[in-house]
Amino acid sequence: MKYSVTALTLLIFTVVAVPVFSQTPTSTPSGSLSDEVDKLKEKVAEKVEQLKETEKAVSGVVTEIDKNEWVLTDADNKKISVSIDDTLTNFFDISGTKTTDLEQDDIDKGDYVFITGPEIGESITANAVYRDQKYMVISGKITNVTAEDFTINVLSVDKTDYVLDVESKTNQRMLNIKTLETEKIGFSKLKEGDSVHVVVKGNPENTSQTRYAALRLLVIPNEYFLQ
Amino acid sequence: MKRETIVAIVFGILLGAGAGLFVLFQTNNSDEAKVIPIESDDKKVVTQAVTASTSQAQLVISAPAAGAVVNEDSVKISGKAPLNGLIVFQSPVSEEILKNEKDDFTVEMPLALGENVIQISVYSGSSTPQEQTLRVYYLKDE
């Protein structure tokens, strides 16, 4: 009898095992520190990559130069403050497909530039300043075609009347309303009432200028809208 | 086996099970958060979309962001525009025209070194377009 009681008791304690949950997991201090450092490194690398991907630039005409504090005026006539650092800011000129180094003194008031760098408050600390050509895209309706001097008048969406010189080097294209492809055209195809998108070289020193030489010209014939 | 022995064994089992359940529930209710998790910034990313300033607000450019700096000589422009609208992309380098047969569009535009002014116009049922001007900056990796 005693043997059977002992055997039964042992069996019960072997089979019915209560799991222990009260123990707090601990990790070795050296392993934990190494993990944290790795995570921190990963986060820094991610941030650097993110900053590269989200890097932005602003552009405008240099309207004020006061030692290392510049003011740009952008396309919407908004003033942008720029801080120049003597040792950190680099200066470049963009011409065609080449970028060449410049000195700070090479950039004057009236130059068109774009700037990369962090925006702190309402000022941008310039990492790099690039002097570039200003381009504009004008769109509107052709209101007049003058064959004598190869000009067209375009009334833009904001109601500005532009006079555009169509030169032999102007790239002129028109939408084929059946195929929706663009085709090369000559001056004789331009007519009043058509919609037009024109690329011109801007003049940073005269923002009120309304006469330009057209570089590219894309026409959407009025017939497209009458279909 | 004596009756008292069997009663003692059953009583012991019940007592043990009770103690086990007590320990189990007490542990579940206790503060387990000993490790502070590192919060991921991925959840905080907010996508900003630029909407045309007209009252219809139907032309939306979702990428790239205005003023984006890229190191490739082309950029994919994507966004939303009215169905069947005629979308015109005009830049100093190139032009593209497409009819928006879906709700959204994607087009690849070549870039010149430096600033690229890209005007996006959409004609939808009228010869007056909705317009947006996008500036993208292409800089080669030095």
The residue assigned the tokens 């064959």 is A147
Give the end-to-end CA distance of chain B in Å, rounded to a whole number.
92
Provide the pLDDT for residue B30: 43
Inform me whether the C-beta atom of residue A6 falls under 8 Å from chain B C-beta atoms. no
Contact B51, B59 (CB under 8 A): yes
Question: What is the arrangement of strands in the sheet containing A79-83, beginning at the earlier edge strand?
Answer: A98-102, A90-95, A128-131, A112-116, A57-66, A69-73, A79-83, A123-125, A119-120
pLDDT along chain B (142 residues), means of 10: 82 82 60 38 40 59 92 94 93 94 92 96 90 94 70
The residue assigned the tokens 């008031």 is A109
Phi-psi region at B67: left, alpha or beta (left = phi > 0; alpha = psi -120 to 50): left
A29-76 pLDDT tens trace? 566 778 888 888 887 777 655 555 557 899 999 999 988 899 999 988
Residue A99's pLDDT band (cuts 50, 70, 90): very high
Query: Which of B31, B87, B90 to probe the A interface (max A CBs under 10 A)?
Result: B90
Q: Which residue of A has its CA nearest to B93?
A: A216
Give the 3-state secondary structure of residue A51.
helix
Query: Which of B121, B122, B132, B136 to probe the A interface (max A CBs under 10 A)?
Result: B121
Dump the DSSP string for A148-202. TTTEEEEEETT--EEEEEEEEEEEEEEE-TTT--EEE--GGG--TT-EEEEEEE-
Helix (H) or strand (E) holding B61: strand B60-63
Q: Nearest by CB to A197, which of B9, B67, B90?
A: B90
Q: Nearest by CB to A139, which of B112, B119, B137?
A: B119
Residue A169's pLDDT band (cuts 50, 70, 90): very high
Provide the pLDDT for residue A86: 86
List the one residue out of A77, A53, A158 whose CA is nearest residue B72.
A53
**ipTM of the complex, rounded to two decimals:** 0.75
Contact A166, A187 (CB under 8 A): yes
Distance CA A157, CA B39 (A): 48
Provide the pLDDT for residue A197: 96
Cis ω before B64 (30° cut-off from 0): yes
Q: C-alpha angle B25/B31/B37, rounded to 5°? A: 130
Q: Nearest by CB to A182, which of B16, B95, B117?
A: B95
Query: Which of A21, A215, A217 to probe the B interface (max B CBs under 10 A)?
Result: A21
Could you give the angle at which helices B3-29 and A2-15 cross, rounded to 10 degrees?
A: 10
A window 160-219, beta carbon within 8 A of B? 173, 175, 180, 182, 195, 197, 199, 215-216, 218
Give the end-to-end CA distance of chain A in Å, rounded to a whole number.
106
Inform me whether the C-beta atom of residue A41 falls under 8 Å from chain B C-beta atoms. no
A194-215 pLDDT tens trace? 999 999 999 888 888 999 999 9
* Beta-carbon separation of B113 and A94 below 8 A: yes
Q: Is the pLDDT of residue A151 over 60?
A: yes
Residues whose CB falls within 8 Å of the CB of residue A87, separated by 6 or more in sequence, listed in order? none
Q: Is the pLDDT of residue A8 over 50?
A: yes
A window 91-130, beta carbon within 8 A of B? 94, 96-99, 114, 116, 130
Q: Is the pLDDT of residue A119 over 50?
A: yes
**With contacts defined as CB-CB under 8 Å, which chain A residues touch B41?**
43, 46
List the one residue out of A188, A160, A159, A156 whose CA is nearest residue A172.
A188
Average pLDDT across chain A, whole number: 85
Provide the pLDDT for residue A138: 94
* Beta-carbon separation of A218 and B90 below 8 A: yes
